[in-house]
Chain A
Amino acid sequence: GENVEQHPSTLSVQEGDSAVIKCTYSDSASNYFPWYKQELGKRPQLIIDIRSNVGEKKDQRIAVTLNKTAKHFSLHITETQPEDSAVYFCAARDTGFQKLVFGTGTRLLVSP
């Protein structure tokens, strides 16, 4: 089955700086890679996703890149703001059973 690794586990940046979170996956057949933001005690919220037929996708301050050969994908947040502080999870869809396998999470702290 799919295995997803994520790093760093914690990331502290100053407001306005960029933040990058990286994930690797094991199943070369996985074809869908979403990123979720989770605030304490709340449900995960989809912030951006990318499919295996695309190398990069951008939505305002958020971008995701995918390298299928290396089996890794990254989340880039530019011009970070304090409200970006949360836990971010990457995930990969297991093509065998259509389930999402999550990474271990990154706690992002943006200081004013």
Chain B
Amino acid sequence: GAVVSQHPSWVICKSGTSVKIECRSLDFQATTMFWYRQFPKQSLMLMATSNEGSKATYEQGVEKDKFLINHASLTLSTLTVTSAHPEDSSFYICSAPISGRDTGELFFGEGSRLTVL
């Protein structure tokens, strides 16, 4: 099956610092990756769509300068939370469809739990 690997699984940082989260598709190519954020006991909210070779598309209300997304290759997308603050503490999770297969199915990474002190 398709595997998406996400690192780190958890991270604690000080307020004002930046944190990078990586998402890799291990056995398939992913020209598109979706980044979601999930607050405790809430649903998954789409933050942005990462596109290989072009700029990411951000959902309304998501600051693109705060949440930097880079889709460096067909298997790697990164999310950088810049100048993190306690309200950015959340569970961040990436997902990707298999390129070229329009099945709709998304394969999720393990998620990254960010705690900003």
Chain A residues within CB distance 8 Å of chain B: 31-32, 34, 41-44, 46, 49, 51, 89, 93, 97-105
Task: Check if B104 sits within 8 Å of A43, measured CB to CB.
Answer: no
Q: Mark B98-117, 1 if CB is under 8 A from A, else 0.
A: 00000111101111010000
Contact of A98 with B32 at beta-carbon distance under 8 Å, contacts A89-B44, A105-B42, A105-B43 already known = yes
Task: Check if A97 sits within 8 Å of B111, measured CB to CB.
Answer: no
B2 CB, nearest partner CB in chain A, Å: 11
Complex interface: chain B residues within 8 A of A42 (CB): 110-111
Complex interface: chain B residues within 8 A of A102 (CB): 43-45
Contact of A100 with B106 at beta-carbon distance under 8 Å, contacts A44-B44, A105-B43 already known = yes
Task: Check if B104 sits within 8 Å of A32, measured CB to CB.
Answer: yes
Task: Check if B34 sits within 8 Å of A99, measured CB to CB.
Answer: yes
Q: How far is the CA of A99 from the CA of B104 in the complex (A)?
A: 8
Task: Check if B49 sits within 8 Å of A99, measured CB to CB.
Answer: yes
Chain B residues within CB distance 8 Å of chain A: 32, 34, 42-46, 49, 57, 91, 93, 95, 97, 103-106, 108-111, 113
Task: Check if A89 sits within 8 Å of B32, measured CB to CB.
Answer: no
Complex interface: chain B residues within 8 A of A51 (CB): 104
Find the residue from A97, A100, A101 having the highest chain B CB count within 10 A. A100
Find the residue from B45, B103, B106 having the highest chain A CB count within 10 A. B106
B28 CB, nearest partner CB in chain A, Å: 15
Task: Check if B46 sits within 8 Å of A41, measured CB to CB.
Answer: no
Q: How far is the CA of A89 from the CA of B24 in the complex (A)?
A: 24
- Chain A's closest residue to B102 (CB) is A98
Q: How far is the CA of A26 from the CA of B97 in the complex (A)?
A: 23
Task: Check if A43 sits within 8 Å of B111, measured CB to CB.
Answer: yes
Task: Check if B106 sits within 8 Å of A104, measured CB to CB.
Answer: no
Q: A34-B104, A42-B111, A44-B108 are in contact. List 8 more A-B contacts (CB 8 A).
A: A32-B104, A43-B109, A44-B44, A49-B105, A97-B57, A99-B46, A100-B106, A102-B45
Complex interface: chain B residues within 8 A of A105 (CB): 42-43
Provide a sorted-by-A list of 15 A–B residue pairs whose CB atoms are within 8 angstroms: A34-B105, A34-B106, A42-B110, A43-B93, A43-B111, A49-B105, A51-B104, A89-B43, A98-B97, A100-B34, A101-B46, A102-B44, A104-B42, A104-B43, A105-B42
